[in-house]
């Protein structure tokens, strides 16, 4: 078998193989896309802020992927996911925030849902009807970074963290018509508002959070007074009816007024965070503020009718406390009935110079020096009573004792009780007087006197006395007629005797016994004349002296 070659195949050209380029322009497109994608991923991750979870009571109006988080009307985040928590009581909203905002998150950051709302300030959130509901936030002020979980508020934050001013606390017995957003007025100018409220630890008082805007916060001093200015105050005086209205908004939604009185206390500046007492009305600002309260029990043996809860406790006319409670107790063993009166004393109402130590020990010292409590009348017309504290003398010693949860303050009977007791004793003495016997004896005595006067013997004595008086009168007239001539004769004799003595004196020595006797005789005659004149004068005034003798004149 022959192997033959095809001459046509030998004439074909031989292929030359050369090495081509390994990098093709076609691969540049996917590489460029990969680089751009990587850069976008890095950019997205580097700009990505923290992811947090916010708990709300409900998610009404919130939508994952649509609802925004805003701060000062600027979008700072978006809702990523919404789901219920494990116990189905709250809604967990996952929010992705921007990196620029994440640096400012701390433990005091607040979140709330912004919806159309009607409050004390008016209607808010109307813009959400167009733009939709969103989550509002306030970064707050605090240390530390962002938390992973926050509890959302049920209402908007009333005061933002960047607001200028100071926050204070007010203590009140009740909230009244106040609410979040109620205004605070200084001389009828709104200077702040109520930002919150809650009960204190024991549930007896309400703590009201307030905020005073700058620069009005400089007006708040240590001795400033706050009072409830809700509604309007009406008073009926001798000049007519007067009404005071702090503002129209305070009338409709409640409000608080503040002022700093001019008194002996030096009002220092406040730093914020101080606690004040919210007084019920403007008239109460005249009372000194207090923060310390001590409770004591008083026991009274007499009726306490007219003593009511809220009655003042005064020390020499100055209020230092009030009556808190009045009770009626009976011991089941002895059947003894007691009237305990619980009072509240405020020691800081008394300005003390220097350090006196514990107020309770000071009060014990005052009790040992005679300080006692007693009931006093505050109004004689209405019969209202109050508790009066004062130092008394000549009283039994006493001290403060402990009875159950309260200390017992010693008491003494009041002035009205003493008067009532004395009147009762006097009436008892009058009741013990035998008036029937005295009346009967008096009636018998009058009858005896009447019988004696009407007797014939008495009539005869009266007739004889009338005759005697008539005779004495005629005798007096006779003496009166004879007295002038008798006095004239005596006077003539005295003058003749004086002339005789004068003649003898020229011949006799002045210190002779005869002269002395003559002078003595003249003096005696002069005394006799004076006595006779006095006798005649007396007989003229008392003609019956001739029968009964001279009587002693009573002054």
Tell me the pTM: 0.53
* Residue 122 Ramachandran class (φ > 0 left, ψ -120 to 50 alpha, else beta): left
Q: Which of these, 52, 57, 59, lies nearest to 107 by C-alpha position?
A: 52
Bridge partners (DSSP) listed for residue 386: 376
323-353: string of b/e by CB count within 10 Å (b at 16+)?
Answer: bbebeeeeeeeeeeeebbbebbbbbebeeee
Treating both helix axes as pointing N-terminal to C-terminal, what angle do 456-505 and 513-541 enclose, rounded to 10 degrees? 150
Cβ–Cβ under 8 Å, residues 251 and 212: no
| The Cα angle at residue 44 between residues 39 and 45, in degrees rounded to 5 | 100
Residue 478: the pLDDT is: 73
Other Cβ atoms closer than 10 A to 288: 18
Residue 301 CA to residue 298 CA, distance in Å, equals: 10
Give the span between the Cα atoms of 54 and 64, in whole angstroms.
13
Query: What Å distances lie between residue 121 and 183, 187, 231, 253, 334, CA to CA?
Result: 9, 20, 17, 9, 62
Structural element, H or E, at residue 494 = helix 456-505
Residues counted in the chain: 555
Task: Give the domain ranges of the chain.
Answer: 46-151, 165-286, 294-421, 460-548
How many Å apart are CA 111 and CA 255, to the nearest integer? 27
DSSP string, 514-548: HHHHHHHHHHHHHHHHHHHHHHHHHHHH-TTHHHH
Which residue in 291, 413, 411, 295 sits closest to 343, CA to CA? 295
Give me Rg for the CA atoms of the chain.
57
Task: Return the structure tokens found at 206.
Answer: 């309400």
Contact call for residues 398 and 392 (beta carbons, < 8 A)? no
Spatial CB neighbours of 334, under 8 Å, sequence gap ≥ 6: none
Please give the backbone phi and psi of residue 246, each rounded to the nearest 5 degrees, phi first: -70, -50
Residue 144, both tokens: 């530390």
Which is it for strands 48-56 and 74-84: parallel, antiparallel or unpaired?
Answer: unpaired
What CA–CA distance (Å, rounded) separates 126 from 124? Answer: 6
Q: What would the DSSP string read from start to end of 292-361?
A: --EEEEEE-SS--TT--TT-EEEETTEEEEEEEEE--EE-TTT--EE-EEEEEE-GGGS--SS----HHH
Q: Which residues pair with residue 314 across a beta bridge?
A: 319, 388
Per-residue model confidence (pLDDT) at position 533: 65
Q: Please answer whether residues 208 and 278 qualify as being in contact, where contact means their C-beta atoms are separated by less than 8 angstroms.
A: yes
Residue-by-residue pLDDT tens, the chain, 555 positions: 445 555 555 666 666 666 555 556 667 778 888 888 888 877 767 667 889 999 999 988 899 999 999 998 899 999 999 999 988 899 999 999 988 888 888 888 999 999 887 665 666 667 777 778 999 999 988 777 788 899 998 888 888 888 899 999 999 988 888 888 888 999 888 999 999 999 988 888 899 999 999 999 999 988 888 988 876 666 655 455 656 666 666 666 678 999 887 765 657 888 889 999 898 887 777 666 666 788 999 998 888 888 898 899 998 888 888 999 998 888 888 888 888 999 998 877 776 666 666 777 788 888 888 889 888 888 777 778 899 988 988 888 888 888 888 899 999 887 666 666 666 767 777 777 776 777 777 777 777 776 766 667 666 766 777 777 777 777 777 766 766 776 777 777 767 767 766 666 655 555 656 566 666 667 666 666 666 666 666 666 766 665 555 655 544
pLDDT of residue 103: 83
């Amino acid at each position: 078998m022959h192997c033959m070659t095809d001459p046509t195949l030998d004439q074909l050209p031989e292929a030359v193989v050369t090495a081509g380029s390994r990098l093709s322009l076609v691969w540049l497109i996917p590489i460029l896309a990969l680089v751009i994608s990587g850069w976008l991923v890095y950019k997205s991750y580097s700009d990505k802020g923290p992811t947090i979870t916010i708990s709300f009571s409900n998610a009404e109006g919130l939508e994952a992927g649509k609802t925004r988080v805003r701060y000062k009307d600027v979008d700072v985040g978006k809702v990523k996911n919404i789901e219920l928590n494990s116990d189905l009581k709250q809604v967990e909203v996952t929010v992705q925030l921007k990196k620029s905002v994440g640096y400012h998150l701390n433990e005091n950051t607040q979140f709330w849902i912004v919806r159309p709302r009607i409050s004390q300030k008016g209607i808010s959130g109307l813009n959400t009807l167009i733009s939709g509901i969103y989550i509002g936030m306030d970064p707050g002020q605090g240390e530390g970074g962002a938390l992973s979980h926050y509890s959302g508020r049920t209402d908007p934050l009333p005061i933002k963290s960047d607001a200028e001013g100071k926050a204070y606390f007010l203590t009140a017995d009740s909230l009244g018509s106040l609410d979040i957003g109620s205004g605070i007025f200084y001389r009828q100018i709104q200077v702040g508002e109520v930002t919150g409220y809650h009960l204190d630890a024991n549930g007896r008082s309400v703590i009201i959070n307030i905020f005073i805007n700058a620069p009005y916060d400089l007006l708040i001093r240590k001795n400033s007074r706050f009072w409830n200015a809700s509604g309007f105050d009406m008073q009926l005086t001798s000049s007519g009816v007067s009404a005071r209205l702090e503002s129209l908004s305070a009338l409709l939604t409640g409000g608080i007024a503040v002022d700093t009185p001019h008194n002996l206390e030096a009002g220092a500046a406040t730093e914020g965070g101080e606690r004040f007492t919210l007084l019920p009305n403007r008239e109460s600002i005249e009372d000194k503020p207090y923060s310390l309260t001590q409770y004591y029990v008083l026991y009274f043996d007499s009726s306490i009718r007219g003593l009511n809860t809220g009655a003042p406790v005064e020390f020499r006319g100055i209020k230092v406390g009030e009556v808190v409670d009045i009770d009626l107790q009976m011991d089941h063993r002895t059947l003894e009935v007691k009237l305990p009166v619980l009072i509240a004393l405020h020691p800081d109402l008394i300005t003390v110079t220097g350090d006196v130590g514990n107020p309770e020990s000071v009060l014990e010292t005052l009790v040992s020096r005679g300080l006692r409590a007693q009931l006093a009348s505050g109004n004689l017309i209405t019969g209202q009573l109050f508790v009066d504290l004062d130092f008394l003398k000549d009283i039994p010693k006493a001290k403060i004792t402990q009875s159950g949860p309260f200390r017992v303050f010693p008491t003494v009977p009041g002035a009205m009780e003493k008067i009532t007791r004395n009147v009762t004793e006097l009436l008892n003495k009058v009741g013990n007087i035998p008036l029937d016997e005295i009346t009967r004896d008096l009636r018998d005595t009058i009858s005896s006197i009447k019988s004696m006067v009407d007797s014939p013997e008495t009539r005869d004595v009266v007739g004889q006395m009338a005759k005697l008086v008539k005779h004495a009168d005629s005798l007096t007239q006779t003496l009166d007629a004879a007295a002038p001539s008798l006095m004239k004769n005596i006077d003539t004799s005295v003058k003749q005797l004086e002339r005789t003595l004068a003649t003898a004196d020229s011949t006799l020595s002045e210190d002779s016994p005869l002269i002395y006797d003559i002078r003595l005789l003249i003096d005696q005659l002069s005394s006799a004349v004076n006595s006779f004149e006095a006798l005649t004068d007396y007989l003229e005034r008392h003609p019956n002296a001739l029968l009964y003798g001279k009587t002693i004149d009573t002054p």
